[in-house]
Chains A and B, each alone.
Chain A
Amino acid sequence: MTAPLLAAEGLCVELGGKAILRDLSVNFPSGRFVALLGPNGAGKTTALKALAGLVPARGRVSIAGEALARISSRERARRIGYLPQGHAVHWPLTARDVVALGRYPHGVADPARLSKRDAEAVDCAMARTDCAHLAHQPVQTLSGGERARVMLARVLATEAAILLADEPTAALDPRHQLAVMDDLKGESRRGTLVIAVTHDIALAARMADEIVLLHDGRLVAQGSPEAVLTDANLAQIYGVTVARPIIDGQAALVPWALS
C-alpha cells in the first residue's frame, strides 16, 4: 500500500504555554478537496500551519511517507503551497510579479526574467484563476475579489502537490466565494490535495469531498460531508441548528438558528 500524500500523527502545538492543537492524527490521499472546519478558536489555522511545517509542533508530519522535518525548507515549499489569511502585499507590486513569487521555491530570483517553464506556470495559474488581464496592475489597486484570485494564482504557480489555504473565501462576495471554491475544487481534480480552512459550512458541505471537524484543538470527526455535518455535530460544536432544503435535487445546508 502506498503512503498517504499528507499524514499527521500525534500533532500537538502549544503557543505561550496554551495547548492549541492536541494530538491531531489525520491523513489524506492526493486529488481530494478537504474542508477544515471548526468554530473560532478551534485550532484550524494552527493545524494548517503545523501541516505546512510553519509552526513548531510535536508529533510527526509526513509527505508521501517522508518526514517533513527532514525535508529542506526549499523542497518543502515546492511540495506544499500555503495561502495565508488576509492576502497582504506590502508593496504595490504588479499582479504578475506577485504570482511569479509562486516560482520562488523553484529558484526564480527575478520575476522579470522568468524561464520559459516558469513563465508558463505563471501564465497558466493566472488563466485558471481568471486574472490574466490584471497582470500589469499593482495589486494595491485591485478589489478584494481580484486580489484573492491573484493570491490564489500565486500559490497555484508553485505547482505543489499539496495546497493549504487559510480562509480563502473570507471577506469575498458570494460570486468570488464560489469562484475561489470552484478553482480549488478544480485544482483537486487535477490531482492536487487541497485543504481549505473555512467558516462557510454551507459551501464546504456542497463542494468538499471530505470534512475535517476540529473543536478545542481536537479532531471531532473526519469523513464525507454527510457523515460529519450531522445535526448532532453541528449543534454540539457550532451551537446551531441547520435547515436542509433540497436544491437541484441536492440537500443544501443552511445555518438557521442557535440551538
Chain B
Amino acid sequence: MTSGRGAILPAGPKAARLWLVPALLLLVGLLFLGSLAIGPVRLPVPELLAALSGRGKEAHRVILLELRLPRALLAVSIGFMLGLAGAAMQGLMRNPLAAPSLFGAPQSAAFAAVATIALGLNDTLSWGLPVAAILGAFLSVFLLVAIAGRNASLLLLILSGLAVSSLAGAGTALAMNLAANPFAALEIAFWLLGSLEDRSMRHVMLALPFILVASLLLFSQRGAFRALSLGEEAAASLGVAVGRLRFTVILGVAIGVGASVAVAGTIAFIGLVAPHLMRPLVNHDPARLLLPAGLAGAALLLAADIAVRIIPAQSDIKVGVLTSIIGVPFFLLLIVRQRKSLAGGMT
C-alpha cells in the first residue's frame, strides 16, 4: 500500500474528494452573492437581503430581481454547462485539449442562430433560437466525430475542428454581410461577443430546461467515461455501448452548448480551463471530474462576469471577450506543457 514511490503522491483519492465539491459549492455561492451585489449600484448584504425578502427600496428590488438575478442565474447555469461539456468531450475523446469551443461547436451554434435571425425566422427571444443553435452545435460536433473517427488523433481533431469553426465563422460573416441594415449587423456582432448583460428571466427560462436535459444526459454516462480511459475496444469489452455513448455525449454537448450560445452568445474556453483545473484534484478520473468541472465552470463564469463590471473601461467589456483573453494564453500554456507528448505524435 505505501511503497516508497507511492508515498510521494499527495493525499489519497478519498481525502481529495471529500472537501472538493462542498468547497466549490461554497465558492459558487459566494460568487453568486457577489454577482448580485456588485454593479453600478452597489447592494451590500443587508440591502440584498431586504430586497430579496420584499422589503427595501423599490429601485433596489428592480435592479436585483430583474437585472442581476437573471444575469447571475445565467452565469451559474451556462458556466456549469460549459465546464461539464468540456469535461465530457475530453472524456469522450480521451484528450485534455478537447473542448467544444476548439471544435467549432459554439461557433456553429452561433452561425445557425445568426442565420435564422438574418432570415427573419427568429428574434432573440423565441424558442426557435435555442433549437437552431442546438442543431448547429450538433451538426458541428457530429461532423467532427465523423471526420476524426474512432481512433481520433489530436492532430486530426484540431485540424477538423479548425475547418468546422472556420466554416461556421465564414457563414456568420456572410450573414452579417448580407444583413438588411448596419444596425442588424452590429447587433449580431455584439451578440456574438458573448455577454450576460441585460438578460431577463425569460432568457433563463429559455436556456435552463435545455441545460438541465443536457446535464442529465452527460451525467448518465459517468461510468462509461472511466471505462473509456482504456480505449474504445477495452471499453466495449467491459460492456460499454461505445456507439450509443458517443451519440449521447454529442447530443448532450450540442443541447447544452447550443442553448448557452442561444442566450449568451459565444463564451469560449470555460470548457477547457475548468476541467483542467479540477483534473488533478480528482486524480484525473474522467468520471469524478464531471461535477467539479461543472461547478468550476460556474465559478469561473460568475467571476468573469463580475470582473467585467469592475474593470474600468469606456464601454462595457463583454464577458465572452474576457474569457477568451484569459483562455487563449491558458490554452497556449497547456500546449507548452504537453509539447513533449504532442511532438511525439501523440494519439
Tell me the bound Cα distance from A116 to B241 in angstroms. 27
B226 at the binding interface (Cβ < 8 Å): yes
Are A105 and B238 CB-contacts (below 8 A) given A91-B229, A110-B287, A138-B284? yes
Tell me the bound Cα distance from A101 to B237 in angstroms. 11
A13 at the binding interface (Cβ < 8 Å): no
> Which residues on the B side are within 8 Å of A80 (C-beta)?
237
Structural contact, B12 and A93, CB atoms closer than 8 A: no
Residue of A with least CB distance to B2:
A136
B2-14 contact mask (Cβ, 8 Å, vs A): 1 or 0: 1101100100111
A92 at the binding interface (Cβ < 8 Å): yes
Residue of A with least CB distance to B236:
A54
A113 to chain B, nearest CB (A): 9
B285 to chain A, nearest CB (A): 6
Interface range on chain A: under 10, 10 to 19, 20 to 34, or 35 or more?
Answer: 35 or more
Other-chain contact of A90, B12, B14, B231, B240 (Cβ < 8 Å):
B231
Structural contact, B230 and A52, CB atoms closer than 8 A: no
B239 at the binding interface (Cβ < 8 Å): yes
Other-chain contact of B229, A93, A112, A137 (Cβ < 8 Å):
A93
Are A109 and B222 CB-contacts (below 8 A) given A54-B233, A89-B229, A137-B6? yes
Residue of B with least CB distance to A49:
B233
Other-chain contact of A136, B6, B17, B223 (Cβ < 8 Å):
B6
The CB with the most chain A CB atoms within 10 A, among B223, B238, B288, is that of: B238
> Which residues on the B side are within 8 Å of A110 (C-beta)?
287-288
> Which residues on the B side are within 8 Å of A59 (C-beta)?
none
Tell me the bound Cα distance from A73 to B245 in angstroms. 14
A234 to chain B, nearest CB (A): 30
> Which residues on the B side are within 8 Å of A136 (C-beta)?
1-3, 6, 9, 12
Are A91 and B286 CB-contacts (below 8 A) given A101-B229, A112-B17? yes
Other-chain contact of A91, B9, B17, B234, B284 (Cβ < 8 Å):
B284
Structural contact, B223 and A109, CB atoms closer than 8 A: yes
Tell me the bound Cα distance from A101 to B222 in angstroms. 13
Tell me the bound Cα distance from A257 to B180 in angstroms. 79
Structural contact, A82 and B237, CB atoms closer than 8 A: yes
Other-chain contact of A97, B94, B236, B285 (Cβ < 8 Å):
B285
B87 to chain A, nearest CB (A): 12
Structural contact, B285 and A93, CB atoms closer than 8 A: yes
Structural contact, A134 and B229, CB atoms closer than 8 A: no
Structural contact, A92 and B284, CB atoms closer than 8 A: yes
B208 at the binding interface (Cβ < 8 Å): no
Structural contact, B283 and A93, CB atoms closer than 8 A: yes
A207 at the binding interface (Cβ < 8 Å): no
Tell me the bound Cα distance from A145 to B13 in angstroms. 25
Residue of B with least CB distance to A142:
B5
Are A98 and B230 CB-contacts (below 8 A) given A73-B239, A91-B286? yes
A78-106 contact mask (Cβ, 8 Å, vs B): 1 or 0: 10111110101111111001100110110
Tell me the bound Cα distance from A132 to B233 in angstroms. 25
B168 at the binding interface (Cβ < 8 Å): no
> Which residues on the A side are within 8 Å of B295 (C-beta)?
none
Are A84 and B284 CB-contacts (below 8 A) given A111-B226, A134-B3? no
A117 at the binding interface (Cβ < 8 Å): no
B192 at the binding interface (Cβ < 8 Å): no
A231 to chain B, nearest CB (A): 36
Q: List 21 A-B contacts (CB under 8 A).
A: A54-B237, A84-B231, A84-B237, A88-B230, A90-B95, A90-B228, A90-B229, A97-B226, A98-B229, A101-B229, A104-B223, A104-B227, A104-B238, A109-B223, A111-B285, A112-B13, A112-B14, A112-B288, A132-B1, A134-B6, A135-B1
**Beyond A84-B230, A112-B14, 7 extra complex contacts between A and B, CB < 8 Å:** A72-B239, A81-B237, A82-B237, A84-B234, A93-B283, A94-B283, A138-B284
Binding site for A on B (CB under 8 A): 1-3, 5-6, 9, 12-14, 17, 94-95, 222-223, 226-231, 233-234, 236-241, 283-288, 347
Binding site for B on A (CB under 8 A): 49, 52, 54, 72-74, 76-78, 80-84, 86, 88-94, 97-98, 101-102, 104-105, 109-112, 132-138, 141, 154, 158
| 8 tightest Cβ-Cβ pairs between the two chains A and B | A77-B239, A82-B237, A90-B94, A136-B6, A74-B239, A91-B284, A133-B3, A73-B239
